[in-house]
Chains A and B, each alone.
Chain A
Amino acid sequence: MKLLEIKNVTKRFGGLFANNRISFDISQGEIIGLVGPNGAGKTTLFNCISGYYPPTSGNILFEGREIKNSPPYKVCARGIARTFQIIENFQKMTVLENMMVGAFKKHKYKGKAFKKALKVSEFIELSDKNFEYASDLSPPEQRRLGLGMALATEPKLLMLDEVMAGLTPKEIDEVLDLLRKVRDSGVTLIVIEHLMRAVMSICERIFVLDYGEKIAEGNPEEIAHDEKVIQAYLGKSYAQG
C-alpha cells in the first residue's frame, strides 16, 4: 500500500494557484526530493499535507485514510512530522527540552520522554549540547535540532523543508549521512531542497514543481536530462541548445 497519496491537490490564494492539480504517491522507505525554483509551491504543498492549510480541492491520503482536513496536531499524531524552512524551535528551552516536547507525543511520562530525547540527541549527534539553550546553538546546530524535534515524535513520514540551507559543504555531507541513517531506521522522507548536489545524491525519486504544477517526475538521472526541468531552471534557450 502507498504511504502517502496526493490526489489532484490544488491550493489557491485568491487568483494565484500555489498548487495546481498535483498528484503523486510515495511508498514506505523512499527518500523523495521535491525541487523547483523559488515560488514553485513546494512549501505550500508541505503546509497542505501537514494540515496548516486546507487544500482548495483534491485529496490527501496517509496510509489509505484521508488527512485533508485534519489540524496539524492530528496529522502529527497520525505519524507525519515536518521541519520548517526558517529555523524554528523553542529558544528559551534547552536542547533536550525541545526534543522532549516532541517525545511527549508517544511517551506520556517525563522520565520516558527524557530518555527518548537523550536517544534522539545521540542519533543527531548533538549530545554535547543537551543542556544548552536552543538560542545558544549555531545555525547548523539549530537545523539539526529541528530535525531532532521532528524525529522525537517517532514519525513514519518526515518532511524536511530545506534542512541544508546555509550549510557548508562539509556540514551538508554530515546532514546527508544523517538522512540516510534516518531512512535506514525505517522513516520515509520527503526533502525540499535547492542544492542539486544534495538532492541528486540521496533521493531515489524526484518531483519537480514549477508555477504550482508538477512538471517532471523520475530518478535523478532522468530529471537532470528532462527538457522541461532545464527550461524551468535555466530558461528556454538552454533547453533548445
Chain B
Amino acid sequence: MNVKKENLIRSSLLVISVFILIYPFLFKAAFYQHIMIMVFMYGLLAVSWDLMGGYANMFSFGHSAFFGIGAYTSTVMLIHWGINPWIGMIVGGCLSGIVGVLISYPTSKLRGHYFAIATLAFLFVTKILLENWRFVGAAQGLSVPMVKESSLLYFQFHGSKIPYYYIMLGLLVLGVVLTKWVIRSRIGYYLRALRESPEVAQSLGINTAKYRLIAIALSAFLAAISGTFYAQYVLYIDPPSAISLHISVQVVLISVFGGTGTINGPLLGTAILIPLINLIGAWLGGAGRGIAFMVFGAVIVVMCLIQPDGLIKYFEGWKLSNRRENEAA
C-alpha cells in the first residue's frame, strides 16, 4: 500500500468526521438536521441488520420488529412505571435480544428465502399483537409523557434538534465500534465461516447454532436501541410507525445497495439513500413522496445490475494497512 494513498484516505476520513461533528452548526434548518438524524438512526439499524443478514447469512425482514420492541419497551416503562428512558433503552435492547434468541429456535433449520419468510411472519405477528394489546396503547399508540424542560436525563429536548443529533451520532458510533469489535474477534471469523459453508465450519469445531444465536441477539439488541431513540425523538409511537414492513424493507435495501457483510457498506448506503429520499420527497412535496420511493427503487435496481456486491466494492482498495499483516509479510 503506498503512503500517498494512505494519506489521502486518512485526510478524507478526517474531513468527513469534522464535517459530521460541525454539521448542525453549518445547517441550522431543522429539516437538514432531521435528515442527518435519520441517517444515523437508519445507519444503526442497517449495521445491526448487516451483522445478521450480511455476516451470519440470515436474511431478516423482521428488523422493524426489533426496532419496535425497543421503541415500545422504553415508552411503556416510562408511562406505566416512570422508569427513565435511558434505562428503558438498555432493557428494551435486552428484551429484543431475548426475543431474537426465542425466534432463532424455531427458525434454526431454515436457510435463505425460508428464513426471510419466517422473519416476515415474526414482523406481522408482533405488529398484530401490539395493535390489540390495551396495555401498550393498542392501535391508538402511545405518547411519550412530556417533561417541562429539556433534559438529558429524561432524553427529551424541546426547541432544538442538536442534542438529538449528537446523541444519535454517539449511539451510532458506539454501535459501529461494538459491531466491528465483534466482527474482528473470533465470533466474526466464525460467522463468516458459517456464511461460506456451515458443513466445513462444523468440522472445524464451530457450534453453528450457538453462533447464529449470538449474531441474532446482538443484532436485535442494536436495532432496539435505534427504536428507543425513535420513540424519544418523535415522542409518539403506534404500531404502523414503529413496526412496519416499510422500515424493514428499507433497511434491507439500503444494506444491499451499500454492500452486505461489510459494515461500512450499509453505512455508506444509508448516508446516500436516506438524504436522497428525504430531499426528493421534500422537493416534490405531497404526492411527490411516492416518486421519491420510485427513485429509491430505481437506484437500487441500477446498483444491483452494475455492481451486485454493492457500492462499497468500489472502495475495496481503500483500506488502512493492517499492522499485523505488515509484520507477517
Considering only CB atoms, which chain B residue lies closest to A109 in the complex? B186
B186, A71: Cβ atoms closer than 8 Å: no
Q: Let me know if A93 and B208 touch, CB within 8 A.
A: no
Instruction: Verify if A41 is at the interface (C-beta below 8 Å from B).
Output: no
Q: Does A97 contact B (CB under 8 A)?
A: yes
Partner pick for A76 among B189, B197, B203, CB 8 A cutoff: B203
A233 at interface (Cβ–Cβ under 8 A)?
A: no
For residue B160, CB closer than 8 A to chain A, the reply is no
Within 8 A of B (CB), among A11-55: 50-52
Instruction: List which B289-329 residues lie within 8 A (CB) of chain A.
Output: 324-325, 328-329
Give the secondary structure class of B's interface. Answer: helix
Cα-based distance from A111 to B203 in the complex (angstroms):
22
The interface bits of chain A over 165-191 (1 if a CB of B lies within 8 angstroms of the residue's CB, else 0) are 000000000000000000000000000
A73-B205, A101-B206, A130-B328 are known contacts. Are A90 and B200 too (CB-CB below 8 A)?
yes
Instruction: Tell me which residues across on chain A come within 8 A of B192, comparing CB atoms.
Output: 90, 92-93, 97
Contact A76 B204 (CB under 8 A): yes
Q: What count of chain A residues pass the 8 Å CB interface test?
A: 36
Contacts of B324 in A (CB 8 A): 111, 114
Tell me how far the C-beta of A200 lies from the nearest C-beta in chain B, rounded to whole angstroms: 28
Could you mark each residue 200-243 of chain B with 1 if its beta carbon is under 8 Å from any beta carbon of chain A, else 0? 11111111100000000000000000000000000000000000
Does residue A131 face the partner (Cβ distance < 8 Å to B)? yes
Query: Is A58 interfacial (CB 8 A cutoff)?
Result: no
Chain B residues within an 8 Å CB radius of A113: 186
Q: Is B203's CB under 8 angstroms from A77's CB?
A: no
Chain A residue, CB-CB nearest to B210: A73
Closest residue of chain A to B187 (Cβ to Cβ) is A104
Encode contact with B along A100-114: 1 for CB under 8 Å, 0 otherwise: 111011001111011
Tell me if A67 is interfacial: C-beta within 8 Å of chain B: no
Nearest Cβ on chain B to A68's Cβ, whole angstroms: 17
Flag if B196 contacts A73 (CB, 8 Å): no
**Are the C-beta atoms of B205 and A108 separated by less than 8 Å?**
no
What is the CA–CA distance of A50 and B203 in the complex, to the nearest angstrom? Answer: 8
CB neighbours of A76 from chain B (8 A): 202-205
Is A72 on the interface with B (CB-CB < 8 A)? yes
Query: B200 and A88: CB pair below 8 A?
Result: yes
> Is the C-beta of B2 less than 8 angstroms from some C-beta in chain A?
no
Would you call B6 an interface residue if the criterion is a C-beta within 8 Å of the partner chain's C-beta atoms?
no
Q: In the docked arrangement, what's the CA distance between A225 and B152, Å?
A: 87
Contact of B190 among A101, A109, A111, A153 (CB under 8 A): A101
* Other-chain contact of A92, B196, B207, B208 (Cβ < 8 Å): B196
> Could you tell me which B residues sit within 8 Å of A by CB distance?
184-186, 189-190, 192-193, 196-197, 199-208, 324-325, 328-329
What are the 6 closest A-B residue pairs judged by CB atoms, nearest first? A76-B205, A72-B202, A105-B205, A90-B196, A102-B204, A101-B193
